[in-house]
Chain A
Amino acid sequence: MTIALDAPTAGPRRWRKPPMIADARLRYALYALILVYLYVALSSVTVNYARILVGLDRGAAFVSGFLSPNFTTRWRDISNGMLESLTMTVISTAVGVLLSIPVALGAARNVAPPPIYVACRGLIAVSRAFQEVVIAIVFVAMFGFGPFAGAMTLAFSTIGFLGKLLAEDIEDIDRAQVEAIRASGASWPQLMNYAVQPQVAPRFIGLCLYRLDINFREASVIGIVGAGGIGATLNTALARYEYDSAAAILLSIIVVVFIAEYSSGFIRKRFL
């Protein structure tokens, strides 16, 4: 432990907390660098005060819309959008989970041969690098507007998310158990089923529930780019300046997110 002491010129010696970066020159250079960056970055941000003043009225209108949300006028659209989002969530999670398992097996260094390993890791990297909405744009162009494109988008993102985490879990398994099963003369599928799967399954089920949660959150926004779900409804309501309906939509999204998060947390705590 380094202890910085004041020069003992007058009075008792006092202890001071050692700075995180010991070299003073490096420390101040870093501070200066951060200041310069902040200056450069902030100078490209333009603030239009006149526009904000106009916008504040809209903000106020939106807040008052929140205080009296209107579920009735657009109830058909809201319930329709919500059902689309929910079904997209179920389909995409189921398809994504099923496809992520072979991808994860391929992306685990201790299970897969090198060429398959590289291919699967590449797929995972691409799926993780692009935000769901970006993927949705491409899939909408491919499959046409609607919830099918949305479900495929989320399934693709799920493959990247679960594939990476499951592959890491598979790489961390206990080798001894695999050896033991192999010694009994098990074939490759039996090896996966009896030696690998029991070791990774509990955490994987937890991750699937977590991903179900994320998929609903994303299913509620990708409608903005035409991939179906309640996001489209919200976008329309805001474009028509129907703030009371928009508030109702937002509140229903929040309620479902809540239910999803707490029930998945409950299941994980109670059963896993």
Chain B
Amino acid sequence: MPVIEAGDHRVWRRRDRAEQLRNWLIWLVGTALFIVCWRFISERTIWIFVLDAPQQAWDMAVRMSNPPMGYFNRILQPMWDTVNMATIGTLIAIAIATPVAFLAASNTTPSVYFVRPVALAIIVTSRSINALIWALLLVLVVGPGLLAGIIAIALRSIGFIGKLLYEAIEEIDETQVEAIRATGAQPTQVLSYGIWPQVLPAFAGISVYRWDINIREATILGLVGAGGIGVQLQASVNSLAWGQVSVIFMAILVTVVFSEWVSAKVRHAVL
């Protein structure tokens, strides 16, 4: 307990001197870094536009406050497409990520030196590229539309599901696997009776969690031409139809809140 003698009485301090110095240094470096970065951004900013922002925001709010409700009927189909894109993309990702996760987990992989690195490489590549960038590339290859969006969602989700699932597989209780093996079970039977039931709750939780994230991601893939509500959003923003934009925002908000509610319910039920 750091206590400092100040003349005739003693004063309690939360940190001793070395700790205080270390904290102070961290703050100094952090502040310096912040100032350097701030100057860099400030040089690239047209401050007149930024100072104008309250006016712009007010303008936008006024134009958004009178949404044309008739427009709502026209975005039902794109919204449905968005949800489908997320759902099918997630299903494809689950189908691919599950075997990859078993190949990547150190306790189930057939070969630690050859198969595991390959599986880990798949997971890492998929994870480090954003769904929007995947969509950008896929639109070039398969053309604009839902298909590009579905594949983009699937490619991004493989790494996410694969990583969380293989970590769950590595944490299973080995004694249960031993017990199943002791009954003379085949490797496939060990997998389906000893390992799978143990990771099933985690698997369901991870899948639904990713589905929830994917709904959010699917709302923007249309901006680069990959189908869904983003196409309408892009068109409305480009034509400065802020009323339509606010209808789209409301639709997104409702869908996302719903999917988050479903996801929370399922995760609460299985975990």
B45: chain A residues within 8 A (beta carbon): 143-144, 146-148
Interface residues of A in 222-272 (CB under 8 A from B): 224-225, 228, 231, 234-235, 238, 250, 253-254, 257-258, 261
Determine chain A's interface SS by DSSP, over half rule. helix
* Contact for B41 among A46, A147, A224, CB less than 8 A: A147
* Contact for A55 among B88, B141, B219, B224, CB less than 8 A: B141
Q: A146 to chain B: closest CB distance in Å? A: 5
Q: A228 to chain B: closest CB distance in Å? A: 7
Q: Using a Cβ–Cβ cut-off of 8 Å, how many residues does chain A contribute to the interface with B?
A: 59
Are B140 and A134 closer than 8 Å at their CB atoms?
A: no
Q: Which of B103-111, B167-175, B249-257 contacts A (4 or more CB under 8 A)?
A: B249-257
A250: chain B residues within 8 A (beta carbon): 129, 133
Are B50 and A148 closer than 8 Å at their CB atoms?
A: yes
Are A129 and B256 closer than 8 Å at their CB atoms?
A: yes
Task: Let me know if A130 is at the binding interface, CB within 8 A.
Answer: yes
Q: A234 to chain B: closest CB distance in Å? A: 7
A88-B41, A138-B60, A142-B60 in contact; A130/B143 too (CB < 8 A)? no
A137: chain B residues within 8 A (beta carbon): 233, 237
Q: A226 to chain B: closest CB distance in Å? A: 10
Are B142 and A133 closer than 8 Å at their CB atoms?
A: no
Interface residues of B in 69-101 (CB under 8 A from A): 80-81, 84, 87-88
Are B193 and A17 closer than 8 Å at their CB atoms?
A: yes
A38: chain B residues within 8 A (beta carbon): 88
A148-B50, A250-B129 in contact; A48/B140 too (CB < 8 A)? no
Are A131 and B219 closer than 8 Å at their CB atoms?
A: yes
Task: Let me know if B128 is at the binding interface, CB within 8 A.
Answer: yes
A47: chain B residues within 8 A (beta carbon): 147
Pair count A-B, CB < 8 A = 148
Are A144 and B257 closer than 8 Å at their CB atoms?
A: no
Q: B17 to chain A: closest CB distance in Å? A: 19
Are A143 and B49 closer than 8 Å at their CB atoms?
A: yes
Are B256 and A253 closer than 8 Å at their CB atoms?
A: no
Q: Which of A56-64, A101-109, A112-120 contacts B (4 or more CB under 8 A)?
A: A56-64
A257: chain B residues within 8 A (beta carbon): 128
Bound together, the chains give a CA A248 to CA B56 distance in angstroms of 37
Bound together, the chains give a CA A134 to CA B81 distance in angstroms of 18
A207: chain B residues within 8 A (beta carbon): none
A52-B142, A235-B136 in contact; A84/B129 too (CB < 8 A)? no
Are A52 and B141 closer than 8 Å at their CB atoms?
A: yes
- Mark interface residues in A5-21 (1 if CB within 8 Å of B CB, else 0): 00000000000010000
What are 23 A-B contacts defined by CB distance under 8 Å?
A44-B81, A45-B150, A51-B142, A94-B30, A129-B216, A130-B249, A131-B220, A133-B223, A134-B219, A134-B233, A134-B252, A141-B237, A142-B56, A142-B57, A144-B52, A147-B45, A194-B14, A221-B130, A221-B133, A235-B136, A238-B136, A250-B133, A253-B133
